[in-house]
Amino acid sequence: MSFVDLSNSLMKETNNDKQNSLLKKLISIPYPIPDIQQENVISLLKFGIKKFKSNSENIKYFYKLISLLFSKRQIKFNSNHNIINDLINYLLNNYDKLKKEDQIENLKALSFVLYENGSYCEKFYETLITKLVNLANKNDLPRLEIKRLAIISLGNLCFKTGTKLNSSQYKTIYNVIYSHIINNQNNISLNQSKIINSSLRVYQIMISEDKEILTNSKNNLIYLYNFIFNDYKPIGRRDSLNKMNLYKNDSVISLTPSNIVQSDSEISDSDFSNSKVKMDNYNKIKLNALYCLQAIIKSSPKLFYPYWDMFIPYVNDKTNKSLLTLIQNDPVPQIRATAITTLTCMVDGAKPYLAVATDSHSKTNFISLSERLGIQISLFHNGLLNALKTETNISIINLIIKCMCVLVQNSSYDKISTNYPVLIRDNMVPLIFHDDDRIKESALHCINILLDSHFDSHFLTKTLDIPKELLKSFENINIFPAEKDNYTIINIIISIIKKTESNIVKAECYSILSTIAKHDIEIIKEKWTFIKELVDNGINDNNDLIKINTFKVLESYTQTINLDYNKWKENFDLDWWEDIINYILIQINSDSAIMRATSCDCISNIPETIFEQMNKLKQIPCITIPLNLSQNDKNFNVRAAACRTLGTLITYKFLSNDTMFIIDVASTIQDTIKDNNLIVRIRSSWLYGNFCDNLILMSENQESQSLLDEWLDNDMIMKLLESGISAAKDNDKCRASALRGLGGVIRICPKPFIENQINNIIKEVILVTKKNAEAGSVKIRWNACHAILNMFKNKDFSIGKSSWTSPLILSLLKSIKNCRNFKVRINATNALLELKTKEQYGNMNLIKNTLECVLSSLENIDDLANTRYGEYKYQQQLKEKLSTLLEIIMKIYSNNSDNNSEDYKLYIERISKLKKSQELEELKNPAKFYEDFLDSHKDEINEQ
């Protein structure tokens, strides 16, 4: 009978024995049941809640059915969660009326009901916590199973509940869990170990749900340390080191073998006579402690940084226990694997922390943080390399290699004398010939990462000293003549692609070729005959990853060539590029979004001179297809890539004279700059900035100006400004380019448009630019000042006549005076340098404010107290710009004020003092004085 038939029969049956039989049959059905009707499940549960009371003989079978239905995910919830509350109420009300064995089934059912459903039962939080905490704290039970199930239920209540449980409720649960962790460190029996394991699993859940749990991280880490590193005389091939009593005080008791008892006052411990059972339970504790440690690291990696020494001691002592000793010595594969993943979590994302590492040691006894990190980097590398040599488990070897990859990506080797990247690389090479494809792929991936971060052309071309036994396995895949000189990495990679049947290995080899192409054109060029054949095969492969990685080879290669095309143009002529374009035009219509996006990237890598010379049958699709994809492709990555391509093409001079192309791009911007996806809007903003920069160039060229006048009417200007305003109010990553574009549009605006729009769209442009000039990232503020500079370059711009004149100029003065970044201050000064008359300032108060700001800035320019070191090199440039601005603004002030006034005399006096201090500074700097002298007398010197 099916689930539906059995449940319908049960709900109709009144005889207890038959109900009992039907319940047993329902329990025996293999779960999960596909396509089960939710109405049937909920009806059955509601029937059971109503029918099976605490005195019913069938109740334990109903509890088992509840457990099955929830553990096998047979119930899906949308908006109606009443059944959850009904079940919780039912289980809680029945509990105290049940026999002991039925109580266990009751709690099992409750734990499964609560799992992932804690957020749906808010009204029972207090009742549940009170009841479960009480059960978890009881020690007078005949069995500890009820205590364990109560602990599990508390954890399941927390799981995915988040902030619906308040901090006080989390704290109550945490205190119970914490007490079981610390109180059971010195007396571990079979059942007691189950309590510890359950407590550790709940602790792991709570770390991810409530960040405040980590406030007592130091104490928690001490207990985790004790669980992880205590020895229990393990059985196995690996020897463990002796326990180091790192923490020894009255409140923390080390879990040494002498602390382990054979029995507990409440339970029989006959099962514990088997040493394997003992070890299994101890290993579960160790594993769960490691999982907790991982959860802490992932939740708050920076909080864990000060405790690295606890788990990777930097003191050179053979008795020290560390994650590395577990990786090398623990007899249990799962523990070794978990220790590796924990170490990987530690290192992943720690690049800023490890950046200060050094292996230079001071002569004092004090060891600085940078020295400690230097020692730990050495321990990481040496420990993993040693583990790699001794490990036999394929999965763990794979994890070690992946850990090395993460370590390489996050380590700073600048101040480390040992060349660890080379050591790792040399250890990876033999693994390329491993029998297992997963190991091959991981080793190749590690080499790929090393090439990308520490590129070494010599490594690629040098002959490798490969052991003979490995060469035997390579004989069948080497496509080059069997001469020793041909065993270079580049040849091996090409050979593996040619002959291997493993898709993951082949895909990684193509990825390595892509990395090489990104760094070294010469090597790829030398092997291009072989590589082109591989590209042909890879692009037509049935495996999507191979196709993608193959096409990435072309993308990387064309990008690298384009970056320095003048150097390579003799080697890569029009015929070569048109051959590559054939691949691009085929793949740009691929079903794969990644292939379409990469095709767009490849088009943007075509040099301008080549693009202009291309056959029209190839040139036109390279323009029209990105235009279409940018607006119409369903995949946001493709739309973004197409926008980026258009942003490159718009800078090509020959295309800037193509009126239809310009109009199409303008239309594209209007659509894409308001795209639902942020990445598309970022790329569209960049396109907008480039487009508007191109408008400036066109306006300055007489021939292009006539073309510009053909299509740049008031309606088009309005649309461009609206697009820019939208992007300038968007995400920070959109704003910089948008501001650059807005300044460009205003710069070329004709006088009639400015006069007609003075009170609406231009005012909105000014306000959004002013707002960005006063706040935001350095890049945004720099571009806002640059935009204002471009606005001021328009001789018809109504600066000085409009109400926004004063706020706009004051925002520039604020940047000059208060911004810590000198490049922003320089750009703000550049903008004000465009204003030459009183009329442009509008009133004397604004002129006086500007004079005061510039003079004050020059007087305090040597005050670098709050200045970053990287800004020092711009100090002189800022000083020169401000000095020029001071001359201009003082001249305006002098021509429009009473020269006998006290204010005027005071300004003259301050300027005089400033000049004297500058002259004195130049005398202190003879090199600068000599350069200035030669510059001022160069005409006289040339005449001689």
Does some domain include residue 110? yes
- pLDDT band of residue 184 (cuts 50, 70, 90) is low
CB contact burial 248-266 (16+ within 10 A = b; e otherwise): eeeebebbeeeebeeebee
Q: Give residue-wise pLDDT tens across range 72-99.
A: 887 776 555 789 999 999 999 999 999 8
Does some domain include residue 511? no
Given a contact cutoff of 8 angstroms between Cβ atoms, the answer to whether 421 and 408 are in contact is yes
- 146-160, 238-252, 797-811, 852-866: range with lowest mean pLDDT: 238-252
Given a contact cutoff of 8 angstroms between Cβ atoms, the answer to whether 583 and 539 are in contact is yes
Given a contact cutoff of 8 angstroms between Cβ atoms, the answer to whether 786 and 739 are in contact is yes
Is the per-residue pLDDT at 604 higher than 80?
yes
Is the per-residue pLDDT at 287 higher than 80?
yes
Element (H, E) at 198: helix 190-209
How far apart are alpha carbons 600 and 596 in whole angstroms?
6
pTM for the complete prediction? Answer: 0.82
| Final residue before a domain boundary, out of 165, 190, 219 | 165
Is the per-residue pLDDT at 899 higher than 70?
yes
Q: Which residues pair with 264 in a beta bridge?
A: 267
Does residue 249 sit in helix, strand or coil? strand
pLDDT of residue 251: 34
| Final residue before a domain boundary, out of 165, 188, 216 | 165
How far apart are alpha carbons 668 and 72 in whole angstroms?
50
Count of alpha carbons within 13 Å of 323, Cβ hemisphere only?
Answer: 31
Q: Give residue-wise pLDDT tens across range 150-174.
A: 999 999 999 999 889 998 999 999 9
Number of structural domains (the chain) is: 2
How far apart are alpha carbons 189 and 176 in whole angstroms?
20
How many CB atoms lie under 10 A from the CB of residue 82? 10
Does some domain include residue 131? yes
How far apart are alpha carbons 19 and 22 in whole angstroms?
5
Residues 6+ apart with CB under 8 A from 488: 460, 461, 462, 463, 464
| Pair of tokens at residue 776 | 């935001």
| Chain CA centroid to CA 588, Å | 28
Count of alpha carbons within 13 Å of 61, Cβ hemisphere only?
Answer: 19
Residues 6+ apart with CB under 8 A from 106: 63, 91, 94, 95, 98
Does residue 252 sit in helix, strand or coil? strand
Is the per-residue pLDDT at 494 higher than 70?
yes
Given a contact cutoff of 8 angstroms between Cβ atoms, the answer to whether 497 and 534 are in contact is yes
Is the per-residue pLDDT at 210 higher than 90?
no
Given a contact cutoff of 8 angstroms between Cβ atoms, the answer to whether 119 and 162 are in contact is yes
Is the per-residue pLDDT at 533 higher than 70?
yes
- pLDDT band of residue 499 (cuts 50, 70, 90) is confident
- pLDDT band of residue 368 (cuts 50, 70, 90) is confident
Does some domain include residue 55? yes
| Domain range enclosing 625 | 573-640
Question: Positive or negative CA dihedral for 836, 853, 786, 739?
Answer: negative
| Pair of tokens at residue 121 | 């039962």
Residues 6+ apart with CB under 8 A from 151: 136, 176, 177, 180, 195, 198, 199, 202
pLDDT of residue 316: 63
Q: Taking all residues of the chain, what is their mean pLDDT, rounded to a whole number?
A: 86
| Whole-number CA gyration radius for the chain | 37
CB contact burial 829-853 (16+ within 10 A = b; e otherwise): bbbbbbbeebebbbeeebbbbbbbb
Given a contact cutoff of 8 angstroms between Cβ atoms, the answer to whether 209 and 164 are in contact is no
Q: Give residue-wise pLDDT tens across range 612-663.
A: 999 999 999 999 999 999 999 999 999 999 999 999 999 999 998 888 999 9
| Averaged pLDDT for residues 785-791 | 96
| Averaged pLDDT for residues 241-270 | 34
| Final residue before a domain boundary, out of 118, 136, 165 | 165
Given a contact cutoff of 8 angstroms between Cβ atoms, the answer to whether 214 and 299 are in contact is yes
Q: Which residues pair with 525 in a beta bridge?
A: none
Does some domain include residue 290? no
How far apart are alpha carbons 685 and 893 in whole angstroms?
40
| Pair of tokens at residue 84 | 């959850």
Q: Which residues pair with 267 in a beta bridge?
A: 264
Q: Which residues pair with 252 in a beta bridge?
A: 249
How far apart are alpha carbons 190 and 281 in whole angstroms?
7
Does residue 11 sit in helix, strand or coil? helix
Given a contact cutoff of 8 angstroms between Cβ atoms, the answer to whether 547 and 595 are in contact is yes
**Percent of the residues in the chain that have a pLDDT greater than 70, as a whole number:** 87
Does residue 267 sit in helix, strand or coil? strand
| Pair of tokens at residue 359 | 């292996």
pLDDT of residue 248: 31
Of 652, 657, 606, 598, nearest in space to 629 by CA: 598
Given a contact cutoff of 8 angstroms between Cβ atoms, the answer to whether 159 and 170 are in contact is no
| Pair of tokens at residue 201 | 């699993």
Q: Give residue-wise pLDDT tens across range 686-697.
A: 999 999 999 999
pLDDT of residue 474: 62
Count of alpha carbons within 13 Å of 333, Cβ hemisphere only?
Answer: 9
Does some domain include residue 141? yes
Does some domain include residue 238? no
> Which long-range contacts (C-beta less than 8 Å, at least 24 apart) are formed by 34-43?
36/3, 36/74, 37/4, 38/75, 38/76, 40/3, 40/4, 40/7, 40/8, 41/7, 41/69, 41/74, 41/75, 42/75, 42/83, 43/7, 43/11
pLDDT of residue 152: 95
Residues 6+ apart with CB under 8 A from 464: 429, 487, 488, 489, 492
- pLDDT band of residue 471 (cuts 50, 70, 90) is low
How many CB atoms lie under 10 A from the CB of residue 516? 27
CATH assignment at residue 93: 1.25.10.10
How far apart are alpha carbons 442 and 406 in whole angstroms?
12
| Pair of tokens at residue 55 | 């005195």
- pLDDT band of residue 261 (cuts 50, 70, 90) is very low
Does residue 264 sit in helix, strand or coil? strand
Is the per-residue pLDDT at 257 higher than 50?
no
pLDDT of residue 631: 95
| Pair of tokens at residue 457 | 């052309």
Given a contact cutoff of 8 angstroms between Cβ atoms, the answer to whether 254 and 267 are in contact is no
Does residue 607 sit in helix, strand or coil? coil
- 279-288, 576-585, 609-618: range with lowest mean pLDDT: 279-288
Given a contact cutoff of 8 angstroms between Cβ atoms, the answer to whether 689 and 737 are in contact is yes
Provide the terminal-to-terminal Cα distance of the chain, rounded to the nearest Å: 114
Is the per-residue pLDDT at 378 higher than 70?
yes
Count of alpha carbons within 13 Å of 110, Cβ hemisphere only?
Answer: 30
Q: Give residue-wise pLDDT tens across range 715-770.
A: 999 999 999 999 999 999 999 999 999 999 999 999 888 888 655 899 999 999 99
How many CB atoms lie under 10 A from the CB of residue 8? 16
Q: Give residue-wise pLDDT tens across range 101-116.
A: 899 999 999 999 999 9
How many CB atoms lie under 10 A from the CB of residue 336? 22
Is the per-residue pLDDT at 563 higher than 90?
yes
Is the per-residue pLDDT at 269 higher than 50?
no
Does residue 210 sit in helix, strand or coil? coil
Does some domain include residue 29? yes
Residues 6+ apart with CB under 8 A from 579: none
How far apart are alpha carbons 532 and 542 in whole angstroms?
18
